[in-house]
Amino acid sequence: MQNLTDDAGVAHAIVAADLAAVRTLRELLLEERAALTRREPEVLNAVVQRKLACLAELQQSEDARKRLLARHRGSDWAALLGTLDPALAAPWEALRADLRQVAELNRVNERIVARTRLGTERLLSMLRGQFDPVGVYDRSGHTRAYGDNRPITSA
């Protein structure tokens, strides 16, 4: 019985640490979005370093979760939480909701990065004189590729 009580305390600590780390990660993703939209590389680098530290904390919790699951010969974390302490169901669901939010924030930031990267690649191509052909309609209504490959500048 003492073992279950001890393990319930461990599970509470894991869930609490995860909640704190995921909420910090959510705030960092919002900071990251602001830095991306304002194009502030120094701020972005600092945020990325803090995100990496937060992810390291989450990895430590994951390792502890795996050890606890192995000790109970289980594979379902939610079921184990219900066995150890039914009061863990609410924080576990809050954590899952926060994780969904973090995943969405991360997807938005990924799209911002991809859009910025594409824009930068296009600008560099223009400077090099490497334009992508543009589809232009001819007199018969068909499209044909047209591109000008003259460099804008030369050294």
Report pLDDT digits (tens) over 54-88: 999 999 999 999 999 999 998 899 999 999 999 99
- Domain 2-129 indexed as CATH 1.20.58.300: yes
Instruction: Give the residues of the chain that fall short of pLDDT 70.
Output: 1-2, 131-137, 141, 143-155
Residue 80's pLDDT is 93
pTM: 0.76
Residue 61's pLDDT is 96
- Domain positions in the chain: 2-129
Tokens 């490959």 locate to 149
